[in-house]
Chains A and B, each alone.
Chain A
Amino acid sequence: MNRFGGRAGNYGSGIGSSGNVSGNSRSQVAELFVKRILTHLDDTDPSKLNEFLSIFNPNGCKVVINATPFAQPTAFLEQWETGVTQTQHALTAVDYHVIPGSNTAVFNVNCKVRFDEGGRDRLGQDASIQQNPQQPRNALNRTRPLWGSYFGVSLQLVTEERVLNNDTNGVVLAFNYNMVYKPDDSLMNIQ
């Protein structure tokens, strides 16, 4: 009885708010937006960086990675681009709430990430010292990444609500990315 009442109430509220066609697409838009962020993180093409940067709000976006804060999204993206090898993210869970009256939405995301452990950085350069420097380097003919085991990641986002209308320009207000489990057989050092 109680359950019935609760369910009916929920259902009603769904209809009452924007539970129609636009509501239908909103959660799909939300998921696509998160996927887009993960794709950006995995992208090795430096020319796409500006596009990634345009997602973050220009007037004060908080970025926290592994409990390390960044003053600016640019500082984070620079470090990600130069200091982290190629990555591959796979989305495992997304949920989001629109906070009424604030024009903002909160995302709770879980994904897993693995790193290229083949010993090359994002630009394809390795650490080996050439025996005879005359020999041409093979940095340009990229070898395939050697993916290590997956790390677990928990990501929270605060965005402006308009992201659910497919507007991604400057929508990210907070970006909290933390690793939650790590495989012992990885060569990557996160400590």
Chain B
Amino acid sequence: MNGVNNVNNISMLAQQQQLQSRVKIGVRNWQNATVQDLMNFLSRTTRISVVDAMVEGPLVVGHVASRADAESLLKWNGIRFAGNNLKFEILSDSGNDGAGANSTITLLKNFLYKRYNAQTKMLDLGNLHADPDLVQKGLFSSISTQSKMFPALMKLASKEPQLVVESINLSDNNLKDISGITTLAQTFPYLKNLCLANNQISRFRTIEVWKNKFKELRELLMINNPISNDKLYRSEMMRLFPKLVILDNVMIRDEQKLTSIYSIPMKIQPFFFENNEIGPSSTDFVTNFLNFWDTDRMQLLGLYTPQSQFSISVDSSIPPSSVTESDQNPSFGYYLSHSRNISKVSSEKSIEQRLSLGPEAMSEVFRAIPKTKHHLQDMPDEYSMETVTYPQINGFIVTLHGFFEETGKPDADTNNKSSAGRSRRFNHGHNSTNNRLFKKSFDRTWVIVPTGTGVVVASEMLTVRPFAANAWVQQPGPVPQQPQPQPPLAPQIDPMNPSLNASPPPPQPQIGMGGLPVPMGVPPQQPGMPPMSAPAPAPVPMAPTLQLPLEVQTRLNPIQLELLNKLHIETKLNAEYTFMLAEQSGWNYDVAIKGFQNSVNNIPREAFIP
């Protein structure tokens, strides 16, 4: 760039503008001539000028003035030059690539980091006019450049994951309103502290655009703005920022009370097991069940007795659009004719018919709804489960919330069959888009009775609803989450470590598929589950020699901790190796022990507790 110290800002801006709209293009198959020949040929034939051309690999890379030029150049694809057909391609869009824009971006990025304090998580954008770097580049000398500066800085800041910003200082910037800085709310929605002191903001209306935006704003400083003398100033700021605690260094809200109003005391957790015994067995059950549900549903029929019940209920209510990833246009075509949602289905006859009693009736419904894929193993965080004992039947009740993908149409499409029979009456406006396959969220409840050999499902209810991101994931707060390898919820085998895989789990699940069904209501042979006495899930007592680093311990669930403990006591391996063993065997105790026994002679001495 030739205008580094150019006093004439307008011409520099114009030039910058031009550079920013440039488009990078590439030309292939030019090899039989020089680059200059190619350029001359192009400008002569296409009347499009390509500048800053140079050779990059097989391509000649250059820039044209605009997107339109680039597109019209594409129309010349195949034109003969020096014995070859030329091929044009657009390599990148405007802006980021032009040399001029690039250097401005680098300059602003460096500026951002200069003004950022990682310790206090504070981005200081105060008094920008006095910044020597910015002044020297002429970036803050006129109103028009200044109004572009803030959005540009915001945009850049939002693309820098290292900038974790809780506080922003925008004092002393001669701001008359916030129109130039409104994007602050998009870039830092979880901002906690904002300083706008020593500006000229005078009207509430300009701030109104931030209503409902900074939901976590705790402190606001606006002293030395005309607005702060207004009678309504305090109440307006409290209205705009519902969680504001400190305004101009004065406490305006009781923080403790505020926190209790805006939080629900029952914090959400992904798992609850009434006692330690039913945790692993219900996890196993659900994992195996859904595996078969996805691959071969008919295999599951052995779990039901003639008295077992199954029904589907469609909850077609659309989640608010502010729910992450929520499906705003779900289709329930395959399910609706089976839905037993009694708040929607008024015909008592249908309610009766849609309850499947016994394996035969169930197999029909199973075949009439889409094929699915659940992701319990590869995406365990997407599922949540509660298990409580059910003393009246000497069993337990398992509820799983999560999502599945619809991977294929049902084997038996009852929809089509029935509509063929009564096409004239019911087929108005029926179209196949109602049967679009997508992912769905679901809630599924099993009432399970253990028998001597396995289990029987006494009752099963499935709610299918529009897909929506689940509520139990951590909120995307201001702190970026460290990507941590999540241990799988259910057994997984590590193909990389055959020595530990010596005994793969049997293909048949251990829940006693096809085990003899017992009549309902008869006390089963197994001792009943102990009733719920201690309400809180008690922390697993760990062996004193098993010293896990805290950050490892906190991301393990109680089942995993218990498994580690058991393995540790059994194998006398130290914490690190116990963890490795557990992880490599997919958190399956039997696999782990087998693997340990098979490779015990090869394990180094230091792997054991001294």
Binding site for B on A (CB under 8 A): 2-3, 6-7, 9-11, 13-14, 19, 23-24, 27-28, 30-31, 60, 62, 64-71, 79, 83-85, 90-97, 99-104, 106, 108, 110, 112, 117, 119-121, 125-129, 131, 149-152, 154, 156, 158, 173-174, 176, 178-191
Known: A62-B274, A102-B392, A176-B388. A7 touches B353 (CB 8 A): yes
Least Cβ–Cβ distance between B301 and chain A, in angstroms: 13
**Contact partner, A188, options B263, B388, B401, Cβ 8 Å:** B263
Asked if A31 contacts B212 (CB within 8 A), the reply is no
Q: Which residues of A contact B357 (CB under 8 A)?
A: 10, 13
Q: Which residues of B contact A183 (CB under 8 A)?
A: 319-320, 322-323
Asked if B463 contacts A102 (CB within 8 A), the reply is no
B302-341 near A? 1/0 per residue, CB < 8 Å = 0000010101011111011011101000000000000011
Asked if A154 contacts B447 (CB within 8 A), the reply is no
B520 within 8 A of A: yes
Asked if A31 contacts B392 (CB within 8 A), the reply is no
Q: Which residues of B contact A104 (CB under 8 A)?
A: 390, 392-393
CB-nearest residue of chain B relative to A68? B266
Q: Which residues of A contact B263 (CB under 8 A)?
A: 188-190
Q: Which residues of A contact B412 (CB under 8 A)?
A: 3
Q: Which residues of A contact B474 (CB under 8 A)?
A: 191
Asked if B242 contacts A102 (CB within 8 A), the reply is no
Asked if B272 contacts A95 (CB within 8 A), the reply is no
**Contact partner, B264, options A66, A129, A181, Cβ 8 Å:** A66
Least Cβ–Cβ distance between A31 and chain B, in angstroms: 5
Asked if A69 contacts B274 (CB within 8 A), the reply is yes
Asked if A117 contacts B242 (CB within 8 A), the reply is yes
Q: In whole angstroms, how far apart are the Cα atoms of A30 and B255 in the complex?
A: 43
Q: Which residues of B contact A99 (CB under 8 A)?
A: 392-393, 447, 458-459, 520
Q: In whole angstroms, how far apart are the Cα atoms of A6 and B414 in the complex?
A: 13
B29 within 8 A of A: no
Known: A23-B352, A64-B272, A69-B535. A187 touches B313 (CB 8 A): no
Asked if A92 contacts B323 (CB within 8 A), the reply is no
**Contact partner, B356, options A10, A93, A106, A108, Cβ 8 Å:** A10
Known: A9-B360, A188-B263. A158 touches B390 (CB 8 A): yes
Least Cβ–Cβ distance between A124 and chain B, in angstroms: 11
CB-nearest residue of chain B relative to A60? B531
CB-nearest residue of chain B relative to A114? B320
Q: In whole angstroms, how far apart are the Cα atoms of A84 and B265 in the complex?
A: 7
Known: A108-B461, A110-B465, A184-B323. A173 touches B392 (CB 8 A): yes
Asked if B268 contacts A66 (CB within 8 A), the reply is yes
Asked if A94 contacts B468 (CB within 8 A), the reply is no
B78 within 8 A of A: no
Binding site for A on B (CB under 8 A): 212, 215, 234, 238, 242-243, 251-255, 257-258, 260-272, 274, 307, 309, 311, 313-317, 319-320, 322-324, 326, 340-344, 348-349, 351-353, 355-357, 360-361, 364, 384, 386, 388, 390, 392-393, 397, 399, 401, 412, 414, 417, 441, 443, 445, 447, 458-459, 461, 463, 465, 468-472, 474-475, 519-522, 531-532, 535-537
Asked if A127 contacts B254 (CB within 8 A), the reply is yes
Known: A92-B343, A154-B401. A6 touches B319 (CB 8 A): no
**Contact partner, A129, options B251, B313, B465, Cβ 8 Å:** B251
**Contact partner, A69, options B243, B317, B532, Cβ 8 Å:** B532
CB-nearest residue of chain B relative to A160? B392
Q: Which residues of A contact B344 (CB under 8 A)?
A: 93
Please list 14 pairs of residues, one from A and one from B, whose beta carbons are closer than 8 Å in the complex, sorted by A's number. A28-B342, A62-B274, A66-B269, A69-B535, A95-B340, A95-B461, A97-B355, A103-B392, A106-B461, A179-B268, A180-B471, A184-B322, A185-B215, A188-B264
Asked if B342 contacts A94 (CB within 8 A), the reply is yes
Asked if B393 contacts A149 (CB within 8 A), the reply is no
**Contact partner, B261, options A27, A31, A127, Cβ 8 Å:** A127
Asked if B242 contacts A119 (CB within 8 A), the reply is yes
Least Cβ–Cβ distance between A138 and chain B, in angstroms: 12
Least Cβ–Cβ distance between B215 and chain A, in angstroms: 6
Q: Which residues of A contact B343 (CB under 8 A)?
A: 31, 91-94
Q: Which residues of A contact B447 (CB under 8 A)?
A: 97, 99, 106
Q: In whole angstroms, how far apart are the Cα atoms of A181 and B440 in the complex?
A: 13
Asked if B251 contacts A69 (CB within 8 A), the reply is no
Known: A117-B242, A181-B326. A108 touches B471 (CB 8 A): no
Asked if B342 contacts A100 (CB within 8 A), the reply is no
Candidate in A9, A128, A176, A180 with the most chain B CB atoms within 10 angstroms: A180
Asked if B461 contacts A131 (CB within 8 A), the reply is no
Asked if A181 contacts B319 (CB within 8 A), the reply is yes
Q: In whole angstroms, how far apart are the Cα atoms of A10 and B354 in the complex?
A: 9
Least Cβ–Cβ distance between A127 and chain B, in angstroms: 4
**Contact partner, A83, options B264, B316, B461, Cβ 8 Å:** B264
Q: Which residues of A contact B254 (CB under 8 A)?
A: 127-129
Least Cβ–Cβ distance between A92 and chain B, in angstroms: 4
**Contact partner, B535, options A2, A71, A184, Cβ 8 Å:** A71
